[in-house]
Amino acid sequence: MTNSKVTTLLHRDDPGKKPLVGNIKVTRQDWLNVAMDILVSDGVEQVKVLTLGERLGVSRSSFYWYFKSRQDLLDALLDHWQQTNTAAMINQAESPAETITGAVCNVFKCFVNPKLFDPQLDFAIREWSRRSGKVRRLLDQSDQQRLAALSEMYARYGYETKEATTRARILYYMQVGYYAADLQETMEERSDRIAEYLLGFTGRVPLQSEIEGAVAYAMAASKGELS
């Protein structure tokens, strides 16, 4: 059995492989990918085994080769979110840089490259947390981990503890609000403010090379040229 949506919804870890078509057994990652698509577009209530099977063009019984239950799948989605979005922001905050403005440029990569950090998935998790105490606790934990990494980033460049934590909160919550506002802004418009953003987030004037590098990265990300 085939489904016309299969070629658009399935994603292989290896982009060189062809999309799944025809009578082919789907993988655990295929189930997760379609579940994430539905979570983002329709909310967690619509992440149902029958719906996923219809999207994949397979019987629901194959779901149980990979997951014990729907809850097992939901837990896997949460784990994926933590291992991608949260881990990516922490890794970028810990990346080496000569200056604090360069360090913030590293973090900016999360904000412009959806392959590094998926803002739609992050927003979907926040919506989910409004309906689940468990997810709310995980979200709070993740927010604290991200803020701690950003605070430590500022501290490495000589900021006192209170200023480091305050600037981390400004940087982080500004970006959360940026996603929530869903601004219809082109990458060119956004990139044009990078120098001012860096000055505002750090209180220090960025190097011209840092500005140019950040703009080049943002534009490449907007064109899908980054892995």
Per-residue pLDDT tens over the stretch 148-192: 999 999 999 999 999 999 999 999 999 998 888 878 888 899 899
Q: What is the pTM of this model?
A: 0.85
How far apart, in whole angstroms, are the C-alpha atoms of residue 55 and residue 2?
10
Nearest CA among 17, 24, 91 for reference residue 57: 24
Give the range among 20-29, 133-142, 190-199, 210-219 with minimum mean pLDDT: 20-29
Q: What is the mean pLDDT of residues 211-220?
A: 96
In sequence order, which residues have a C-beta less than 8 Å from that of residue 66 and are 6 or more positions away? 27, 28, 31
Instruction: Assign 24 a pLDDT band (cuts: 50, 70, 90).
Output: low
Task: Report pLDDT for 103.
Answer: 98
Measured CA to CA, the distance from residue 48 to residue 74 in angstroms comes to: 10
